[in-house]
Amino acid sequence: MLNSKRAQFTLPPQVSYLNCAYMSPLLKSVEKVGVKALRKKRNPVSISQQDFFTDTELLRKEYARLIHATNLKQIVIIPSVSYGMANVVRNMDIKKGQHIIVATEQFPSNYYPWKSLCDEAGAEIKAIAPPEDFDERGKRWNQRILEAIDSNTKAVAIGNVHWADGTRFDLEAIRKRTQDVGALLIVDGTQSVGALPFDVQKIKPDALVCAGYKWLLGPYSIGLAYYGEYFNNGKPIEENWITRLNSEDFAGLVNYKNAYHEGALRYEVGERSNFILVPMLLKAIQQLNNWGPERIQEYCREIGKNTIEKLMDMGFLIEKEEWRGSHLFGIRLPASTDLEKIKQSLFKHNVYLSFRGNAIRVAPNVYNTEKDFQKLFKALTKFY
């Protein structure tokens, strides 16, 4: 098992940061690369034409390793999830009578693009809700999603875990069902990829879109999207010079080309060579590959398990391990507890996490230890 990686970050010692689902702290190694990259522009001579292509290719390679992709040309650099989803939606046609399936209270960047698409076409967006009661909630929520998929389903757009409480969605089962009816599977990997294993060869998503600043441990405003072959001949939301064939030939750029680079590269954002953010995200993903998402998931499970068990015994509601992430899960308070008091208590104990929907969202990572969970337990049970 991994041991604590706290020393590789600069979090203040008194802080119990259980909020990676909000934003990861910066690895020292990533910070170092970022500062070096920032300084490079002091003298533009140090940024060569080749530099527009080298780190981006390395980033694709490293990310491909993380998600088990075999073709680098299907991986593109994006600035945000909304951007990655806009490219998906731009290349879908949907008619009245058809629908898109999402999970209830899904993150807005994976809702609004679909809402807009459906509204324009007079199609429907179906948000599948979990059962009201907590009994087998994750399992039954998954069943409801599978049951909602039919021959009028154009796509299922969903996360691997729900962003607000970590409920796990069985993407393999959803993929199978979508294939049966000819629907696309579009995954927002922002709250899972990096900390939870993801295998594009197994899941075969039509798109996997992921922001870089959470579980990928990268900086803000850069992310990665994997687009399946369905999108290879599509139309990007913007037209920029670097996505066109032969863009490596700077002298010939105004010999305008109709053709794009191979695969899905046409979907890359303008100025995707970002000389600061790209090397930072590259460094972060190299580190993740070195640790391995399986081991990160296992580490989070181990440091949290005692506290989770004790809280469940006391009546706090937490999803069964099988249907939640170990890196991201929700705690629902017993009816008698006062949320405002709990918030103050967490603050006093320097425990940082988020409140999303009706759940307290706990999101540990390799810089946490069991001690952070013990502090969480103390803060949560003080007014019990």
Ligand X SMILES: Cc1ncc(COP(=O)(O)O)c(C=O)c1O
Chain residues in the site for ligand X (CB under 6 A)? 80-82, 107, 109-110, 159, 163, 188, 190-191, 211
Q: Which is nearer to ligand X, 209 or 342 (CB)?
A: 209
Q: Which is nearer to ligand X, 189 or 228 (CB)?
A: 189
Cβ at position 328, least distance to ligand X in Å: 10
Q: How far apart are CA 6 and CA 38, in angstroms?
A: 25
Q: How far apart are CA 251 and CA 239, in angstroms?
A: 19
Q: Which is nearer to ligand X, 170 or 188 (CB)?
A: 188
How many residues belong to the chain?
384
Q: How far apart are CA 96 and CA 152, in angstroms?
A: 10
Scanning the chain, the segments in alpha helix (DSSP H) are 28-40, 51-67, 81-90, 112-121, 137-148, 171-181, 200-203, 277-291, 293-313, 339-348, 370-381
Q: How far apart are CA 240 and CA 236, in angstroms?
A: 10
Interacting residues of 251 by C-beta distance below 8 A, sequence separation 6+: none
Q: Which is nearer to ligand X, 215 or 373 (CB)?
A: 215
Quickly list DSSP for 167-215. BB--HHHHHHHHHHHT-EEEEE-TTTBTTB---HHHH--SEEEEESSST
Cβ at position 223, least distance to ligand X in Å: 6
Cβ at position 171, least distance to ligand X in Å: 14
Cβ at position 159, least distance to ligand X in Å: 5
Q: How far apart are CA 373 and CA 321, in angstroms?
A: 16
Q: Which is nearer to ligand X, 80 or 287 (CB)?
A: 80
Cβ at position 341, least distance to ligand X in Å: 27
Q: Which is nearer to ligand X, 107 or 377 (CB)?
A: 107
Residue 144 tokens, joined: 């409801």
Q: Which is nearer to ligand X, 81 or 280 (CB)?
A: 81
Greatest pairwise CA separation for the chain in angstroms: 71
Q: Which is nearer to ligand X, 22 or 291 (CB)?
A: 22
Residue 196 tokens, joined: 């939870």
Q: Which is nearer to ligand X, 159 or 197 (CB)?
A: 159
Q: Which is nearer to ligand X, 208 or 276 (CB)?
A: 208
The owner of tokens 């706290």 is: 6
Residue 157 tokens, joined: 């757009």
Cβ at position 327, least distance to ligand X in Å: 13
Residue 90 tokens, joined: 């731009």
Q: How far apart are CA 371 and CA 365, in angstroms?
A: 13
Cβ at position 163, least distance to ligand X in Å: 4
Q: Are 215 and 183 in contact (CB under 8 A)?
A: no
Cβ at position 168, least distance to ligand X in Å: 13
Q: How far apart are CA 186 and CA 177, in angstroms?
A: 13
Residue 137 tokens, joined: 């909630």
Cβ at position 315, least distance to ligand X in Å: 28
Q: How far apart are CA 120 and CA 382, in angstroms?
A: 51
Cβ at position 150, least distance to ligand X in Å: 26
- Please choose, from the candidates 22, 191, 19, 170, the residue with its C-alpha nearest in 3D space to the C-alpha of residue 110: 191
